[in-house]
Amino acid sequence: MTTPRATKKIAPEAYNALAEALAVVYWNKKPWIRYVRGLFDSAPELLSGIGLESETKRDSADNIVARLMANEHKYQALTVTVMLNVARMDRFPNLEAQPDKERFVPIAEAAVAELRRWTERHQEIVDEHEAYTKQLEDMAAQAEKTRAFAEQLASLRDAFLMMHSATDHQARGFDFEKFINQMFGLFDLEPRAAYSLDREQIDGAFSFDTDDYVLEARWWKTAMGRGHLDIFKAKIERKGKNALGLYISVNGFTKDALDEYSDSTPFITMDGQDFMAVLDDRIRLDDLLRRKKRHANETGHCYFPATNML
C-alpha cells in the first residue's frame, strides 16, 4: 500500500511551530540528537547532510522542517506523527536538570503548547493519517496471521503424507487423532478430543456454524462399507433429533454405502482427497464442510467431494 495522497495541506505556521518546539525541548546536544534520530528513524534520508553535531539545534531543526515542508506530498504522514509526538510532551527532564531551568522550561512549554494548538487545528489531517496508520497495522497483523496459518497448514500436510507410509497402524491411529485435533483447531472448529481408539477408530466431536457434530474417523486399507455407515447413523440418532455427523474415511467409501445414503442422511463424509484439497490450500476446511452440509440438506446425499468446488 502506498502513502495516501495528502488531501489537505499543513499550514506553514504549523511547520514553524514544529521547528521552534524541536529546537527548545532539549538543552544538551547528545540526548537531543538521540531524540531527533528516533523521531525520523523511518526516514533517515531527511537527516542526511544535516550537521546535527556541528550545527546549532535551531539550525538543524529549521533544516529538517524545511525538508518536510518541501516534500509534503511524501512526508505528510511522518510530519503529522512527529508533530503529535512533540505536542504530547508534558515534561522536559533534560531542561529540568539545568541550572537555568526556570527560564528554559517555560520556553519549551510555550513552544509545545503552540504546536499542540496547530495539531488541534489540523485534526482532520491527523485523523486521516491515524486511520491510515491503523489500516497499515491491521494489514500487518493480517499478514502475520496468514503467514502463521500457512506454516501450520504446511506442517499438517507433511504429517499427513508421512502417515501414509506408516507401517505401525496403531501408532498411525494415535497420530491421526492428533492430526485431526490440530487441523480442526486450526480452522476454529472446537474439536473435543474425547476419543476412543479401536482398530484405528477415532470418535469425537466438534462445533461448526452453531451446530455440534459427532465425529468418527478411520484410516483403514479398504473403503468403508454400508455396515459402518449404518452403525454411525444409529450412533447419531441416539444423540438426539438434531444431531449431525461427519464420517471420515481416508480411503473413501464403497458404492453401496454411498448409494444407501444418497437421498436421506444425518451425516456428511470426508475422504483423503478432501484432506489433500484443504492441506494444499486449494479450499478452506470450513468452506468445504459448509458446502457438504448444504449439499446434504438439498439432495439428501452424504457425499460431496472437494473436487466439485475446485
pLDDT (tens digit, 0 to 9) for every residue of the chain, 310 residues total?
444 444 578 899 999 999 999 999 999 999 999 999 999 999 999 999 999 999 999 999 999 999 999 999 999 889 989 999 999 999 999 999 999 999 999 999 999 999 999 888 777 766 776 776 787 788 888 888 889 999 999 999 999 999 999 989 888 988 998 899 999 999 999 887 654 444 444 568 898 998 889 999 999 989 999 999 999 999 888 887 778 999 999 999 999 999 999 999 999 999 999 999 999 999 999 999 999 999 999 999 999 999 999 8
The dihedral sign for the CA sequence 127, 130, 135, 141: negative
One domain, residues 179 and 73? no
218: three-class secondary structure by DSSP: strand
141's grid cell? 497483523
DSSP 195: -
Domain for residue 83, yes or no? yes
Edge-to-edge strand list for the sheet holding 211-218: 201-208, 211-218, 244-249, 267-271
One domain, residues 102 and 185? no
Report d(CA 231, CA 14) in Å as an integer.
77
280's grid cell? 494444499
One domain, residues 204 and 292? yes
Domain for residue 291, yes or no? yes
Number of structural domains (the chain) is: 2
C-alpha distance from residue 58 to each of 40, 48, 172 (Å)? 17, 17, 72
One domain, residues 115 and 192? no
**What is the secondary structure of 167-214 as a DSSP string?**
S-HHHHHHHHHHHHHHHHHHTT---B-----BTTEEEEEEEETTEEEE
Q: Contact at 8 Å (CB) between 121 and 114?
A: no
Domain for residue 277, yes or no? yes
Q: Contact at 8 Å (CB) between 163 and 172?
A: yes
